[in-house]
Structure 1
Amino acid sequence: MANKGKSTRGTVKDFPGFKANEDAEALRKAMKGLGTDEVPIVKLITSRSNAQRQEIAVAFKTLFGRDLVNDLKSELSGKFEKVIVALMTPACLYDAYELRHAMKGAGTCENVLIEILASRNTAELGNIKQIYKQEYGCELEDSITGDTSGFFQRMLVVLVQANRDSEGKVMDSSIEQDAQDLFKAGEEKWGTDEEKFITILGTRSVTHLRKVFDKYMTISGFQIEESIDRETSGHLEKLLLAVVKSARSVPGYFAETLYDAMKGAGTNDCTLIRVMVSRSEIDLLDIRREFRQNFGKSLLQMIKSDTSGDYSSTLLLLCGGDDE
Structure 2
Amino acid sequence: MTMSSQNCKNLCKKIHDSKGQLNHLAQALAAKTQADCQEIRRTYMEMYGKGLHQLLKSIQLTNQGDESGALSYECATALSMLMHSSHERDAVVAREALEQSEVNFKAVIEIFLGRKSSHVILILQAYQTRFSRKLEQDISSIEPPHPYQMILRALASSHKAHHAVVSEHIGRCDARRLYQTGEGRPGAIDEAVVLEILSKRSVAQLSVTFSSYKHIYGHSYTKSLKKGNHGQFEEALKVVVSFISNPLKYYAKTLYRSIKDTTMEKGSLARVMVSRAEVDMNEIQMVFKKKYGMELRDAICESIPSGGACREFVVALATKTTTSS
User: TM-score normalized by structure 1?
Assistant: 0.82
Q: Does 1:19 align with 2:4?
A: yes
2:197 aligns to what SS in structure 1? helix
Whether contact under 8 Å (2:56, 2:77) holds in the other structure is no
How many Å separate the matches in 1 of 2:109 and 2:193?
Answer: 19
Q: Does 1:64 align with 2:48?
A: yes
Report the identity percentage: 25
Whether contact under 8 Å (1:31, 1:75) holds in the other structure is no
How many Å separate the matches in 2 of 1:158 and 1:266?
Answer: 27
1:91–1:314 Cα change, 3 Å: same
Instruction: Select between 177-186 and 193-202 the one with higher mean Cα deviation.
Output: 193-202
1:36–1:184 Cα change, 3 Å: closer
Q: Does 1:29 align with 2:14?
A: yes
Aligned to 2:66: none
Q: Does 1:245 align with 2:230?
A: no
Which ranges of structure 1 fall in alignment gaps of 5 or more residues? 1-15
How many Å separate the matches in 2 of 1:57 and 1:95?
Answer: 17
Aligned to 2:267: 270
State the structure with bigger RCO (CA 8 A, min sep 6), 1 or 2. Answer: 1
Question: Deviation at 1:145?
Answer: 0.5
Whether contact under 8 Å (2:155, 2:198) holds in the other structure is no
Whether contact under 8 Å (1:170, 1:207) holds in the other structure is no
1:70 aligns to what SS in structure 2? helix
1:234–1:219 Cα change, 3 Å: same
Question: Deviation at 1:105?
Answer: 6.3
One of 176, 179, 188 as aligned partner of 1:180: 176
Whether contact under 8 Å (1:179, 1:213) holds in the other structure is yes
1:213–1:37 Cα change, 3 Å: closer
Instruction: Select between 289-298 and 270-279 the one with higher mean Cα deviation.
Output: 289-298
Question: Deviation at 1:218?
Answer: 4.3
Whether contact under 8 Å (1:114, 1:238) holds in the other structure is no
How many Å separate the matches in 1 of 2:315 and 2:114?
Answer: 23
**Structure 1 residue runs of 4 or more that deviate by more than 6 Å after TM superposition:** none
Aligned to 2:206: 209
How many Å separate the matches in 1 of 2:234 and 2:11?
Answer: 48
Whether contact under 8 Å (1:175, 1:212) holds in the other structure is yes
Whether contact under 8 Å (1:288, 1:299) holds in the other structure is yes
1:51–1:234 Cα change, 3 Å: farther
The alignment yields a C-alpha RMSD, in angstroms, of 2.8
Whether contact under 8 Å (2:147, 2:236) holds in the other structure is no
Question: Deviation at 1:159?
Answer: 0.7
1:147 aligns to what SS in structure 2? coil
Superimposed CA distance per residue, residues 261-298 of structure 1 (whole angstroms, 9 cap, x where no aligned partner)? 23354753410100101111211111111211222222
Q: How does 1:53-202 map to 2 (within 5 A)?
A: 53-74=37-58, 77-104=72-99, 106-147=101-142, 149=145, 151-161=147-157, 162-163=159-160, 165-172=162-169, 174-189=170-185, 190-202=187-199
Whether contact under 8 Å (1:36, 1:75) holds in the other structure is yes
Question: Deviation at 1:155?
Answer: 1.4
Whether contact under 8 Å (1:119, 1:243) holds in the other structure is no
Instruction: Select between 126-135 and 212-221 the one with higher mean Cα deviation.
Output: 212-221
Aligned to 2:298: 301
One of 258, 262, 279 as aligned partner of 2:276: 279
Aligned to 1:41: 25
1:43–1:274 Cα change, 3 Å: same
Aligned to 2:64: none
The one-letter amino acid of 2:270's match is I
How many Å separate the matches in 2 of 1:75 and 1:53?
Answer: 18
How many Å separate the matches in 2 of 1:321 and 1:29?
Answer: 22
Whether contact under 8 Å (1:110, 1:235) holds in the other structure is no
How many Å separate the matches in 1 of 2:206 and 2:2?
Answer: 44
How many Å separate the matches in 2 of 1:261 and 1:204?
Answer: 31
Superimposed CA distance per residue, residues 129-184 of structure 1 (whole angstroms, 9 cap, x where no aligned partner)? 12112112222111111016364322110111213633442152x33322221111
How many Å separate the matches in 2 of 1:154 and 1:315?
Answer: 34
How many Å separate the matches in 2 of 1:206 and 1:117?
Answer: 9
The one-letter amino acid of 2:48's match is F
Q: How does 1:227-242 map to 2 (within 5 A)?
A: 227-230=224-227, 233=230, 235-242=232-239
1:264–1:106 Cα change, 3 Å: closer
Aligned residues: 305
How many Å separate the matches in 1 of 2:136 and 2:216?
Answer: 36
How many Å separate the matches in 2 of 1:75 and 1:188?
Answer: 54
